[in-house]
């Protein structure tokens, strides 16, 4: 499955994953041996490859001809792509898509080779040993399309409301494979059309902007997530030759004083942080597993998910759009020290994943906020320049959403003047025994009185405790399910009743695998703070969270 809706009626598109490919590890005990494997998948789910760090070569054949556009939605974590043995693309990062165009391919059977590499190295500044797993594999769909001399790469729709009218600002990008190709671009939304007549396109990216106004469309909201389709069509001499269908919602996110407003109404976030992680699938969760996670998240009474700590699968975002679940989506980074941020590869890798995240996920109405650099060195002068650059980049791409980052730099953070919303991760009663109310009040008064975050909305972006599924203790000893439930009871009661807090994200939805190289000290080499375990079995705290989300 590529998306939960059809993206083309004209452009030929097929998914190359969803079947068996040939997998050959290039290092380790099975080096050179080839196995038939399903894709999308992570090799850690293949027998004998649970700990494999190295390169894995995936190969498949397909029938094709003409101008081919090959798009990988996610390869973990560094990819090299070849067609018939010739390298056509490379990409760093597991969590954003990338594509390649190969022109005038001869008709016949062709071989696509994707080499994935999940090794840590000095050239990998974002995928580093961490409190989550960097898997290996073709972890998201691979798509093959046929394009003519030009095609529609994306159509961004920015909704805004005023005077009883909804405005849809359109910004479309058309890529021309050669210069001077004429074309007419037509944008259709809800029975209205916008037409752009380009007598000649320049080779590369061509941008078209315009507005459509609507008096009788229905807004998107968590309660009533009404989605609209935007259809872009390229015509020449009256005949269509390319198209792109996407979805969006008429909704507006604004910040007013200490409040986050959705369509003018204050939002109270009751959310969970979620990793894309599963003992059977690694980070390559199939549609059914994603849908099942969201069913549990809704059952808990949550209205939001934080994509900790990277851009998520488009299928997940499509479902959040349909279900009305608000999403804090963030770029890829977790807990990078100043030294790690000074890696010469960091700035470009952080820039690229941020640019790709915003460009590729722009239309999802469920995304109400962009986050960056979770718990990185925001307490350092150099770190602050990195935060500034990334916020500037996002604002150059999208002025319709507030920005934030989750800090953990207690009374030393230098960056609260940069985001629209101040967010902080706290673990009272887990990492330290401070009463929650006391810790929260101390933190909040520091933010209000000694930082440039004063007066901004405030979110607790992480709070939680560990609990081992099945470890029960009448004394509620640490790591027992009773301890976790008791701790979350106090944590959530305090945060959700804290007047100046716009909401909370529980850390975390499910137990996850962590990389052995980071810290084998965690029990089971897992992060055990899930409300459900890795098999999605509810722990005692599941009902605690459910009750508290219903109470507030
Ligand atoms: C941090 C981090 C999370 C997780 C959490 C924990 O806040 O952002 O990824 O590691 O701590 O479990 O301690």
Q: What is the CATH number of the domain that holds 52?
A: 2.60.120.260
pLDDT per residue over 270-320, tens digit each?
999 999 999 999 999 999 999 999 999 999 999 999 999 999 999 999 999
Helix extents (H) in 362-509: 381-397, 436-450, 481-496
- Confidence at residue 207, expressed as pLDDT on a 0 to 100 scale: 98
Task: Examine the domain organization and report whether 140 and 163 are in the same domain.
Answer: no
Enumerate residues 6+ apart whose C-beta is below 8 A from 546.
Answer: 299, 300, 301
Task: Examine the domain organization and report whether 523 and 393 are in the same domain.
Answer: yes
Is the CB–ligand 1 distance for residue 507 below 6 Å? yes
Task: Examine the domain organization and report whether 222 and 115 are in the same domain.
Answer: no
Is the CB–ligand 1 distance for residue 486 below 6 Å? no
Place of tokens 């009185």: 449
Give the mutation target among 333, 425, 510 for probing the ligand 1 site: most ligand atoms within 8 A of CB.
Answer: 425
The share of the chain scoring above pLDDT 70, in percent, equals 100
Query: 90 has which bridge partners?
Result: 80
pLDDT top residue among 181 and 100: 100
In a domain, 489, yes or no: yes
What's the pTM?
A: 0.98
Domain carrying residue 119 = 13-145
Task: Examine the domain organization and report whether 45 and 114 are in the same domain.
Answer: yes
> Cβ(506)–Cβ(306) under 8 Å?
no
In a domain, 5, yes or no: no
- CATH code of 242's domain: 2.60.40.10
- Confidence at residue 199, expressed as pLDDT on a 0 to 100 scale: 87
Q: How far is the CA of 67 from the centre of ligand 1 (A)?
A: 45
Q: Write out the two tokens for 481.
A: 């399910």
Q: Whose CA is nearest to atom 10 of ligand 1?
A: 131
- Confidence at residue 519, expressed as pLDDT on a 0 to 100 scale: 80
Q: How far is the CA of 353 from the centre of ligand 1 (A)?
A: 21
Is the CB–ligand 1 distance for residue 57 below 6 Å? no
> Cβ(158)–Cβ(367) under 8 Å?
no
Task: Examine the domain organization and report whether 63 and 165 are in the same domain.
Answer: no
- Confidence at residue 445, expressed as pLDDT on a 0 to 100 scale: 98
Please tell me whether residue 228 adopts helix, strand or coil conformation.
strand
Is the CB–ligand 1 distance for residue 527 below 6 Å? yes
Task: Examine the domain organization and report whether 190 and 117 are in the same domain.
Answer: no
In a domain, 36, yes or no: yes
Task: Examine the domain organization and report whether 110 and 176 are in the same domain.
Answer: no
In a domain, 202, yes or no: yes
- CATH code of 511's domain: 3.20.20.80
Mean pLDDT (whole number) for 492-508: 98
Q: How far is the CA of 426 from the centre of ligand 1 (A)?
A: 9
pLDDT band, very low/low/confident/very high, at 520 (cuts 50, 70, 90) = low
pLDDT per residue over 391-424, tens digit each?
999 999 999 999 999 999 999 999 999 999 999 9
Q: How far is the CA of 275 from the centre of ligand 1 (A)?
A: 11
Cα separation of 327 and 400, whole Å? Answer: 14
Judged by average pLDDT, the poorest of 347-351, 379-383, 518-522 is 518-522
Name the nearest CA neighbour of 144 among 244, 58, 15, 2.
15
- The answer, yes or no, to whether residue 181 has pLDDT greater than 90, is no
Name the domain boundary from 77, 111, 145.
Answer: 145
Phi first, then psi, for residue 262 (nearest 5°) are: -115, 115
Q: What is the distance, to the nearest Å, from the Cα of residue 67 to the centroid of all Cα atoms in its chain?
A: 30
Please tell me whether residue 225 adopts helix, strand or coil conformation.
strand
- The answer, yes or no, to whether residue 219 has pLDDT greater than 90, is yes
Q: Whose CA is nearest to atom 4 of ligand 1?
A: 131
Task: Examine the domain organization and report whether 105 and 193 are in the same domain.
Answer: no
Name the domain boundary from 145, 178, 211.
Answer: 145
Is the CB–ligand 1 distance for residue 430 below 6 Å? no
pLDDT per residue over 187-218, tens digit each?
999 999 999 999 899 999 999 999 999 999 99
- Confidence at residue 467, expressed as pLDDT on a 0 to 100 scale: 98
Is the CB–ligand 1 distance for residue 375 below 6 Å? yes
- Confidence at residue 404, expressed as pLDDT on a 0 to 100 scale: 99
Q: How far is the CA of 544 from the centre of ligand 1 (A)?
A: 21
CA dihedral 128, 129, 133, 138 (to 10 degrees): 40
- Confidence at residue 521, expressed as pLDDT on a 0 to 100 scale: 79
In a domain, 424, yes or no: yes
> Cβ(255)–Cβ(457) under 8 Å?
yes
Q: How far is the CA of 100 from the centre of ligand 1 (A)?
A: 36
Name the domain boundary from 248, 281, 313.
Answer: 248
Task: Please give the number of the atom of ligand 1 that sits closest to the Cα of 430.
Answer: 13
- Give the count of domains, the chain: 3
Give the mutation target among 128, 131, 372 for probing the ligand 1 site: most ligand atoms within 8 A of CB.
Answer: 131
Give the mutation target among 527, 529, 530 for probing the ligand 1 site: most ligand atoms within 8 A of CB.
Answer: 527
Task: Examine the domain organization and report whether 473 and 340 are in the same domain.
Answer: yes
Neighbours of 207 (CB within 10 A): 10
In a domain, 4, yes or no: no
In a domain, 475, yes or no: yes
Mean pLDDT (whole number) for 361-368: 99
Task: Please give the number of the atom of ligand 1 that sits closest to the Cα of 466.
Answer: 12
Q: How far is the CA of 408 from the centre of ligand 1 (A)?
A: 10
Task: Examine the domain organization and report whether 483 and 393 are in the same domain.
Answer: yes
In a domain, 22, yes or no: yes
Is the CB–ligand 1 distance for residue 131 below 6 Å? yes
Is the CB–ligand 1 distance for residue 482 below 6 Å? no
Query: 177 has which bridge partners?
Result: none
Cα separation of 108 and 434, whole Å? Answer: 68
- Identify how many contiguous H helices and E strands the chain contains and give both numbers: 8, 29
Task: Examine the domain organization and report whether 527 and 428 are in the same domain.
Answer: yes
Task: Examine the domain organization and report whether 344 and 474 are in the same domain.
Answer: yes
């Amino acid at each position: 499955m590529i998306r939960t809706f059809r993206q083309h009626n004209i452009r030929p598109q097929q998914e190359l994953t969803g079947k068996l490919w040939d997998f050959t590890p290039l290092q380790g005990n099975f080096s050179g041996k080839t196995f038939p494997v399903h894709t999308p998948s992570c090799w850690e789910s293949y027998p004998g490859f649970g700990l494999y760090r190295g390169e894995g070569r995936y190969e498949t054949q397909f029938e094709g001809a003409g101008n081919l556009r090959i798009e990988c939605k996610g390869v973990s974590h560094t990819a090299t792509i070849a067609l018939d043995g010739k390298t056509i693309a490379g990409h760093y990062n597991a969590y954003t898509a990338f594509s390649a165009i190969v022109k005038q391919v001869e008709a016949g059977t062709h071989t696509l080779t994707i080499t994935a590499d999940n090794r840590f190295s000095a050239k990998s500044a974002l995928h580093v040993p961490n409190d989550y797993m960097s898997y290996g594999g073709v972890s998201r769909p691979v798509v093959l399309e046929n394009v003519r001399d030009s095609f529609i790469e994306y159509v961004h729709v920015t909704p805004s409301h005023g005077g009883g009218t909804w405005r849809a600002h359109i910004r479309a990008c058309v890529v021309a494979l050669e210069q001077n190709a004429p074309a007419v671009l037509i944008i259709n939304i809800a029975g209205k059309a916008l037409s752009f007549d380009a007598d000649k396109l320049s080779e590369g990216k061509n941008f078209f902007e315009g507005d459509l106004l609507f008096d009788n469309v229905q807004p998107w909201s968590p309660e009533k997530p009404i989605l609209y389709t935007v259809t872009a069509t390229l015509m020449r001499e009256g005949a269509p030759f390319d198209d792109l269908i996407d979805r969006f919602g008429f909704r507006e996110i604004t910040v007013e004083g200490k409040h986050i407003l959705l369509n003018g109404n204050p939002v109270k976030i009751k959310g969970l942080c979620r990793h894309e992680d599963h003992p059977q699938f690694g980070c390559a969760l199939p549609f059914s597993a994603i849908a099942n996670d969201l069913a549990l998240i809704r059952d808990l009474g949550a209205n939001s998910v934080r994509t900790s700590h990277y851009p998520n699968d488009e299928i997940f975002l499509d479902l959040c759009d349909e279900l009305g679940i608000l999403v804090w989506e963030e770029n890829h980074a977790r807990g990078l020290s100043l030294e790690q941020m000074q890696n010469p590869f960091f700035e470009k890798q952080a820039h690229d994943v941020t640019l790709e995240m915003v460009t590729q996920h722009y239309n999802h109405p469920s995304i109400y906020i962009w986050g960056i650099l979770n718990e990185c060195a925001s307490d350092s002068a150099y770190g602050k320049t990195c935060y500034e650059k990334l916020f500037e980049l996002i604002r150059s791409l999208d002025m319709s959403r507030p920005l934030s980052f989750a800090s953990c730099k207690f009374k030393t953070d230098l960056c609260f003047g940069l985001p629209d919303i101040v967010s902080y991760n706290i673990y009272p009663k887990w990492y330290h025994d401070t009463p929650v109310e006391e810790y929260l009040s101390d933190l909040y008064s520091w933010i209000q009185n000694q930082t440039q975050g004063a007066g901004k909305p405030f979110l607790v972006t992480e709070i939680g405790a560990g609990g081992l599924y099945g470890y029960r203790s009448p004394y509620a000893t640490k790591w027992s399910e009773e301890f976790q439930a008791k701790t979350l009871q106090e944590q959530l009661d305090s945060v959700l009743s804290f007047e100046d807090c716009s909401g909370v994200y529980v850390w975390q939805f499910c137990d996850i695998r962590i990389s052995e190289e980071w810290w084998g000290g965690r029990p089971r080499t897992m992060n055990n703070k899930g409300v459900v375990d890795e098999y999605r079995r509810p722990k005692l705290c599941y009902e605690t969270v459910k009750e508290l989300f219903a109470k507030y």
